[in-house]
Amino acid sequence: MSTSDRISRPTNPDGLVLEAWGQGLMLGCLLVMAAVTFVNMKKHILLHKLILVELILAMPNGTFIFPKDPVYGWYQSVTAIGLNVSWSLHNVIAWLKNRPFMSRKVSLFYIGTVILAQPYWVLEIYANFAYFNNYNKIFLTTRPLEPIFRDPWWVFTTCSLFYTIKREYNFGIIELVSVSPRFGIMLASMCLSIAFMVVDTCSVLNVFSHSSLPTGIEPFWKLSFIFKCLCDTVILDDFKTALDRMRTYWLRKRNMGGEILLNTGEHHHQHHRIEGTGRLRPDEDIEALTGGGRDRRKSESVPKVYTREHVRELTAGCALLLSLAVAEDTWPYMTLQTAPYQPPQIQITKSGTTDPGYLFVGPRGNQPAGTAALIYDEDGNLVYQGPDEVTANFRVQRLFNQDVLTFWGGNMTDLGFGYGAVHILDNTYREIYTVTLQGDFETPDGSVPDSYIDLHESHISARNTLLVTAYNVTQQSLTDIGGTPDDYMLDSLFYEIDIATNEIVHSWSALEHVDQIALTDSKQGIDDDHGTHEQPWDAYHINSVELFDEG
């Protein structure tokens, strides 16, 4: 480079002041946000650790205005490495926060493109070093490309979050901000970061013709980065955890105001009220009413909602139900004045000290009104009742690092299996996913159910897929075990299904592996009553699936 083209520390007073102001603002904000993150983070949560690392990596680049030549160029380019890593890490953090709302394909595409962008940042690190140390000017070509390899993921995350808030939670922006000003600050910061992102891009592309800012020291990317980091810091948890917490708080607040009635099952807990009123204490907020963000089993904090109108409509009907005699061939049942439910009345006998918790029940019998997914507290009081249908595998599982309720619901056959769907509920009992299975199946009675998932297994794997079993009536020669060439048997199958998209990831059939699992090895003998289409032989009777590291 010629002497006139050499890049050095700004000497123009206006440029020097502007850059010093920008770096000081960025460093100060990052220090404050790092301190806030450190005191609020939970050490066992990876997301919180990554946010702290993101802030620390970017800090040194807020001090490169101090060294003078020749140290200036080296110091600036070395500290820019941490900044570049921090930018990519920010996109990973955005992925972790938004992942619960993304399908598996979208999630893989998101993080895959972030990875594919990394070769550019390796080139940018070299270009930055070569430019500020006066080796070449490749940086003038690579710098305008920065927004393309840095910002699309953040724009997608912002748009996706606004869409999710409206579609999944039905919150208006004003209503959301009133419930959680902190979340409102995050949304405002998202918008401001994108606004400064646009201004920075325009500045780099010389859209502002009157701009005379030195290359590489524009303050706009710093402002955009500050607001991005503020989004990560002001809400440390993923978006779904934060939004679910707000919705629970909003429901309880409305309950305390008398707008709705909640049945939480927490009969031994006191609501936070001012004595003699139905208002929240002034010093309470979302964190206070939801356990401060600590992990809780969803079954311990999920409210059941009944409106006043619901209660008024059901009072007369429930009074009539209370006067009816219980049929001799049914279980004893409770009648609730808040809902027309008749769940089994259970007696709980404790032997010694027991841990507090809830009982998950899926009864089957001849009392249709109580054949449902049921939750009782430890005193036998009903906490939750699902839809009236035969249920199985009712339990708490983990999905996208959140506790969810899952149960199979459908119809059982007389042959010991069933056809149905798997329902997945969030911490407000709202059904967030319904997993079904379709395909070329045959049933013993020729019926065509909406879904062919069997009741035996519905396990959420560590990779957020659902493992289920199924049965299919199949014509099979059973001459090896004393049957006929035209006999029928049940093929035992299992499937791995993408929960978000309901797409089959993997399938397995027992009859496709008959060379490894011979029919003659079955302990279930065949007789004259089995082997027909209506009474197929059940050689395998699959009822459990587990995913191992080997696949």
Tens-digit pLDDT string for the chain (551 aa): 555 567 777 777 777 788 888 889 999 999 999 999 999 988 788 999 999 999 999 999 888 888 888 888 899 899 999 999 999 999 999 999 999 888 889 999 999 999 999 999 999 999 999 988 888 989 889 988 999 999 999 999 999 999 888 877 767 778 788 888 888 999 999 999 999 999 988 888 877 665 555 555 678 889 999 999 999 999 998 888 888 777 777 666 655 554 444 444 433 333 333 233 333 333 344 444 444 443 433 333 344 444 444 444 444 444 333 344 334 455 666 665 556 667 788 888 888 888 888 888 887 765 555 578 889 888 888 888 888 888 899 999 999 888 999 999 998 888 889 999 999 999 888 899 999 999 999 999 999 999 999 999 999 998 899 999 999 999 988 888 888 888 899 999 999 999 988 999 999 999 999 888 888 888 877 777 788 899 998 989 998 988 877 65
Please report the pLDDT score of residue 2 as a whole number. 53
Domain count, the chain: 2
Burial class (CB in 10 A: 0-12, 13-18, 19+), 208: exposed
Rounded distance between C-alpha atoms, residue 397 and residue 504, angstroms: 20
Tell me which of 197, 222, 254 is where a domain ends: 254
Residue 308 lies in a domain: no
**CA–CA distance, 132 with 215 (Å, rounded to integer):** 10
Beta strands of 68-195 (E only): which ranges?
none
The helix or strand, by DSSP H or E, that contains position 13, with its residue range, turns out to be helix 13-40
Closest CA to 203 of 146, 249, 278: 146
Residue 519 falls within a domain, yes or no?
A: yes
- Residue 234 resides in a domain: yes
By DSSP bridging, strand 488-498 and strand 465-475 are: antiparallel
- End-of-domain residue from the set 206, 229, 254: 254
- Choose the final residue of a domain: 207, 227, 254: 254
Measured between its terminal Cα atoms, the distance across the chain in Å is 57
Judgement on whether residues 391 and 248 belong to the same structural domain of the protein: no
Residue 259 lies in a domain: no
Question: Tokens in use for 497?
Answer: 């299904």
CATH number of the CATH domain containing 115? 1.20.1070
8 found inside a domain: no
The answer for residues whose C-beta is within 8 angstroms of residue 430's C-beta and 6 or more apart is: none
Determine phi and psi for 30, rounding to 5 degrees: -65, -40
Tokens 């045959």 belong to 442
Q: Helix or strand or coil: residue 274?
A: coil
Nearest-angstrom CA–CA distance, 433 and 404:
10
Is the separation of the CB atoms in 384 and 394 below 8 Å? Answer: no
Looking at residue 418, its amino acid is: G
Q: Does residue 545 form part of some domain?
A: no
Domain ranges, residue 491: 387-538
Q: Do the domain assignments include residue 173?
A: yes
Per the CB < 8 A criterion, the answer to whether 52 and 93 are in contact is: no
Task: Please report whether residue 347 resides in a domain.
Answer: no
